[in-house]
Amino acid sequence: MENRAKNIIGKVDIPLLGLFLVLVFAGLLTVYSASFSEEYPQIYSLDKAYGKQLAWIVISLIIGVLILTLEGSFIRNSAYIVYGVVTLMLLVVLFMPAIKGAHSWFKIGGFTIQPSEFAKFATSLAIAHYLSTSGIKIQEAKTKVIVFFLIAVPGFFILQQPDPGTLLVFFSFIFVMYREGLSGNILLGMFFAIIIGVMAIFFKASEANVSFFGWVFAANYLYLFVIVIATVLIHFGITYLVMPRYRAKKYIINMVSGAIAMLLVFSCNYAYDNVFKDRHRDRFEVMFGLKLDRKGVGYNSYQALSAIGSGGPAGKGYFKGTLSNDKYKHVPEQSTDFIFCSWAEEWGFLGSFLLIILYTAFLIRIIMIAERQKSKFTRIFGYCTASILFFHYMINIAMVIGLAPVIGIPLPFFSKGGSAILGFSIMIFILLRMDSERKDVLR
């Protein structure tokens, strides 16, 4: 038994484990500083956020070590069971009393558990299991539909809580699908759709007018006009640059995507006027910099950027922040979604740059690990892990530094929240476990 444990430890990927521990430790210290209270100065004080966070980290590490003792095949075989249990939890949690307006938590004693955090690794396991089953080809429509449902079922329950931020993370599986062979055009199409949609909303929100030889257009109509022109130009481009035998198909693709783009712009405009509420509109206006609102919806963003900016190049020093901590509370949600502010204020640009480098290194290391697997299951699970963490990292930081509208989504390993740290740890330790036996498995 002792020999076996030694074996596992020896085979665990030390860079990934190291990066994981560094991030978790830095996160704990930041939560400690951000929510420090003089009444309970000890970091292990369970009355405060940092004490609970420490407890959750300890629990996560214990569970992580337990995972390392499991057989890889056992993990793979339990995938659907785990998925089923967690999905059931997502259903049950909807009947729990609402906390802050959302039915997202089970309350047990002083601790709360958020099953949607577990849905991330559970869904990852299920997808990995399904796609690694022999004979499954991602190019087939049936596969796509089943994967869609594997994601959509927990996604639907999460939307009912409601927790749109977490739902957004489920879109990250598109990267996994892409890696496994989904047509790049779909990814590219989505990419363009996002660009076109965001620009449409920007023009709509800016209410800008463009003067053209004395005629005044609303910018969003001019934008539609530009799409039409682009479609026409591409049409001629096809005529002159593409060999005749390929032309017919390209014409159709061009026409269809032009039409979809126009439809998208129309629906964005429509949604902006009729579906969005004022608070959504305001969020977009603040994000686009059309409005420097420091009291209303822009408050969070304004305060967060002030805290980050005040850090300067080298920061104010640990525990020396003056905006983003429990004493001053200028930044809302400063120990959860906006935890990056505390870090950036205390450690400055050097610290915040180091942190994004650490995250990127961490993500790339996961992809490297995924790519060295012979087992398709492990590879897919690795990509799921990387994609989910990447989405969290990207959306959270972008929101905090004012590049995205405010979306409630935690920064992995940093934001206070037990279920999140446990969920992310389980993912990392499953990956570490599967990786450690990569040489023992054939496929």
Partner 1 sequence: MDSFQHRRWIIILTMLFVTVVFGVRLLYVQVLNNDWKNRAEQITHHKVTIHPARGLLYDRNGELLVAVNQVYDILVTPKDLKGIDTVEFCSLFKISKTEFLQKIEHASTGYNVSYKASTFIESMSKEEYSRVVPYLKSFNGFDSKRRTNRGYPNGVAAHVLGYVRKISAEQYSKDQKVGEKYYNQNDYVGVTGLEKVYEKELRGERGSAFFLRDYAGNDKTNLEENYAISGNNLYTSIDLKLQSYGERLMKNKLGSIVAIEPSTGEILSLISAPSFDPNKLSGREFSENYKELLNNDTLKPIINRPIYNANYRPGSIFKLVQALIAMQEGVITENTGFVCNKALINCHNHEPPSNVQIAIKHSCNPYFYHVYKRLIQRGEEKSIFKDSRIGIEKWNASVKSFGLGIKLNTDIPGVKPGRIPDANYYDNEFPSKTNPYGKHRWAFSTIYSNSIGEGEIGVSPLQMANLAAIIANRGYYYTPHLVKKIGKDGSKRPEYLKKNYTMAAAKYFEPVVSAMEMVVENGTAMGAQIDSIRVCGKTGTVQNKTFNDHSVFIAFAPRENPKIAIAVYVEYGTWGGIWAAKIASLMIEKYLVKELSEKGKKKEKEVLDAIILDKHSDFK
Q: Which residue, among 408, 397, 310, has the nearest Cα to 360 in the 3D structure? A: 397
Between 77 and 322, whose beta carbon lies closer to partner 1? 322
Between 46 and 354, whose beta carbon lies closer to partner 1? 354
Query: Is-contact 203 219, C-beta < 8 A?
Result: yes
Please give the structure tokens belonging to residue 418: 């037990």
Provide, rounded to whole angstroms, the least separation between the CB of residue 39 and partner 1. Answer: 15
Distance between CA atoms of residues 13 and 436, nearest Å:
7
Q: Which residue, among 36, 29, 19, 15, has the nearest Cα to 354 in the 3D structure? A: 19
Provide, rounded to whole angstroms, the least separation between the CB of residue 380 and partner 1. Answer: 11
Distance between CA atoms of residues 369 and 392, nearest Å:
20
Contacts for 378 with CB less than 8 Å, ≥ 6 apart: 72, 128, 370, 431, 434, 435, 438
Provide, rounded to whole angstroms, the least separation between the CB of residue 132 and partner 1. Answer: 12
Provide, rounded to whole angstroms, the least separation between the CB of residue 255 and partner 1. Answer: 27
Between 59 and 174, whose beta carbon lies closer to partner 1? 174
Provide, rounded to whole angstroms, the least separation between the CB of residue 190 and partner 1. Answer: 12
Provide, rounded to whole angstroms, the least separation between the CB of residue 403 and partner 1. Answer: 6
Between 192 and 349, whose beta carbon lies closer to partner 1? 349
- Binding residues (CB under 8 A) for partner 1: these are 175, 178-181, 184, 294, 302-303, 305-313, 322-323, 327-330, 344, 348-349, 352-353, 356-357, 359-360, 363-364, 367, 370-371, 383, 386, 390, 393-394, 397-398, 401-403
- Indicate the angle between helix axes 418-436 and 72-93, nearest 10 degrees: 160
Between 64 and 165, whose beta carbon lies closer to partner 1? 165
The dihedral built from the CA positions of residue 72, 73, 74 and 76, taken in this order, carries a sign that is positive
Between 18 and 309, whose beta carbon lies closer to partner 1? 309
Between 310 and 436, whose beta carbon lies closer to partner 1? 310
Provide, rounded to whole angstroms, the least separation between the CB of residue 91 and partner 1. Answer: 33
Query: Is-contact 338 396, C-beta < 8 A?
Result: no
Please give the structure tokens belonging to residue 221: 């109509």
Provide, rounded to whole angstroms, the least separation between the CB of residue 323 and partner 1. Answer: 6
The dihedral built from the CA positions of residue 118, 121, 127 and 133, taken in this order, carries a sign that is negative
Between 54 and 177, whose beta carbon lies closer to partner 1? 177
DSSP string spanning 111-133? EEE-HHHHHHHHHHHHHHHHHHS
Distance between CA atoms of residues 161 and 67, nearest Å:
30
Distance between CA atoms of residues 412 and 78, nearest Å:
25
